[in-house]
C-alpha cells in the first residue's frame, strides 16, 4: 500500500454479521454494578479502530430485544453503524466478575439470518467497503461456541464473495477468522490474515504449537490465498509471513490483567496502519503494540492511540529462518 496524502481521511469497514449483547456484573463500592455493552469480535475491532483516530463503518444485522439494545448502545460510540434489521434476535451473554475472574452465568444464541436479510447485509457491506481503504472480515457471533465451531447464521459464501468482489475493485481485505469462514474467505483471497495458534490447533491446522508446525501452517495459508499471515501466540512472540519473509515479533514483557480481546486489538492496529498507508511490517508492529497494551487493561480491545503510538518503538521485529 502507498502512503496516503495529508488530505485523505482513512476509513475502515468492519463486517460483523451478528454482534452480541454483553452483560457483566462487577463488584462496586456501593454494591453490585451491572454493565451492558455491545460485544463480539467485529464490534471490539471497530471500537479500537475508532479510538485510534480512523473513521470506521460497522456493517451488522440486528434483531429482537437484544439487537435493539445493541444498536442503542452503539450510538454512544464514534462508529458509523450501517444496520440491517433482522427478524431473529442477536446473541447475548452474562458474566460475573465480582470475584475478579469471569464466571459465565447465562448465554443466549443468535438466530440465523434469512436469505433476504443476508442479501441486504451483503449489499450494505459491499458498498461501504468500496468507499473504504480497507475492510476487516469478522465472523458470525453466538455465545457458547469456540472459534472452530460454525454457527449457521450467515452462508459461508458471503465471505468468498465479499473478499473477491472488494479486492477486484481495489479495496484491501484482511480477516480475523478461523475454520470454515476462513476457508471461504481464503477462496476469495486476502491481503492479510490474523489468526491465533489456539485457533490453528482447534481447527486441526497444526499438530502442535512448535515453531516448525506453525511456520508450515503459515506457508499453507499463504498458498491458499493469504498474501500475508500473522499468528499470535498469547505471551509468546508473534510469528508472521510477510512478502515471502518470516518474522518473529516481540512486545515488552508485561503481567497481563486480562488476555481477552488482545487478538482483536492486534487486528485493529494492523487495520489502522494499513489503511493509513503503512508497510505491512510496520502495521504488524502497530498491531503488536495494540495487543500488548490491551492485556494490561480491563476492557476488551481497549487502549488509546497515543499510548499505542508510544509503545511501537518498543516492539522488536526480527527476520528469522523458518
Q: For residue range 52-74, list pLDDT tens digits in order.
A: 999 999 999 999 999 999 999 99
For 185, how many CA atoms within 13 A lie in the half-sphere containing its CB? 27
Q: How confident is the model at residue 140 (pLDDT cuts 50, 70, 90)?
A: confident
Using the structure block, give the residue that is written with the C-alpha cell 429482537.
Answer: 64
Q: Is 30 helix (H, G, I), strand (E, B) or coil?
A: coil
Distance of alpha carbon 106 from alpha carbon 172, whole angstroms: 38
Q: What is the pTM of this model?
A: 0.90
User: 293-316, pLDDT tens digit by residue?
Assistant: 875 555 544 556 778 888 899 999
In sequence order, the 6+-apart residues with CB closer than 8 A to the CB of 8 are: none
List the domains of the chain with CATH numbers: 11-320 (3.40.1190.20)
Residues 230 and 246: their CA atoms lie apart, in Å, by 10
For residue 139, give the DSSP letter.
-
What's the mean pLDDT in 30-34?
A: 93
Return phi, psi of residue 5, to 5°. Answer: -75, 165
Q: How far is CA 188 from CA 163, 226, 320, in A?
A: 5, 9, 29
Amino acid at each position: 500500500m502507498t502512503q496516503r496524502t495529508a488530505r485523505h481521511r482513512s476509513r475502515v469497514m468492519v463486517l460483523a454479521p451478528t454482534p452480541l449483547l454483553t452483560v457483566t456484573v462487577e463488584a462496586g463500592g456501593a454494591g453490585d454494578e451491572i454493565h451492558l455493552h455491545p460485544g463480539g469480535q467485529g464490534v471490539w475491532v471497530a471500537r479500537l479502530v475508532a479510538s485510534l483516530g480512523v473513521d470506521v463503518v460497522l456493517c451488522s444485522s440486528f434483531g429482537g430485544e437484544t439487537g435493539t439494545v445493541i444498536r442503542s448502545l452503539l450510538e454512544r460510540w464514534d462508529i458509523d453503524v450501517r444496520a440491517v434489521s433482522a427478524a431473529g434476535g442477536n446473541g447475548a451473554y452474562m458474566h460475573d466478575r465480582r470475584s475478579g475472574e469471569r464466571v459465565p452465568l447465562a448465554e443466549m444464541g443468535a438466530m440465523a439470518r434469512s436469505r433476504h436479510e443476508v442479501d441486504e447485509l451483503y449489499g450494505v457491506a459491499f458498498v461501504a467497503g468500496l468507499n473504504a481503504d480497507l475492510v476487516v472480515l469478522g465472523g458470525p457471533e453466538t455465545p457458547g461456541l469456540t472459534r472452530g465451531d460454525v454457527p449457521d447464521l450467515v452462508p459461508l459464501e458471503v465471505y468468498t464473495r465479499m473478499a473477491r468482489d472488494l479486492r477486484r475493485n481495489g479495496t484491501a481485505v484482511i480477516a480475523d477468522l478461523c475454520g470454515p469462514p476462513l476457508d471461504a474467505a481464503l477462496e476469495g483471497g486476502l491481503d492479510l490474515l490474523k489468526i491465533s495458534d489456539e485457533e490453528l490447533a482447534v481447527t486441526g491446522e497444526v499438530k502442535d504449537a512448535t515453531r516448525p508446525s506453525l511456520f508450515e501452517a503459515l506457508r499453507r495459508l499463504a498458498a491458499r490465498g493469504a498474501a500475508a499471515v500473522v499468528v499470535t501466540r498469547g505471551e509468546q512472540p508473534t510469528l508472521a509471513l510477510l512478502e515471502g519473509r518470516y518474522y518473529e515479533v516481540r512486545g515488552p514483557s508485561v503481567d497481563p490483567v486480562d488476555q481477552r480481546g488482545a487478538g482483536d486489538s492486534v487486528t485493529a492496529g494492523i487495520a489502522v496502519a494499513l489503511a493509513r498507508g503503512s508497510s505491512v511490517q510496520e502495521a504488524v508492529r502497530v498491531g503488536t503494540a495494540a495487543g500488548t497494551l490491551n492485556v494490561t487493561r480491563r476492557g476488551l480491545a481497549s487502549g488509546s492511540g497515543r499510548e499505542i503510538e508510544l509503545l511501537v518503538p518498543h516492539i522488536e521485529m526480527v527476520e528469522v529462518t523458518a
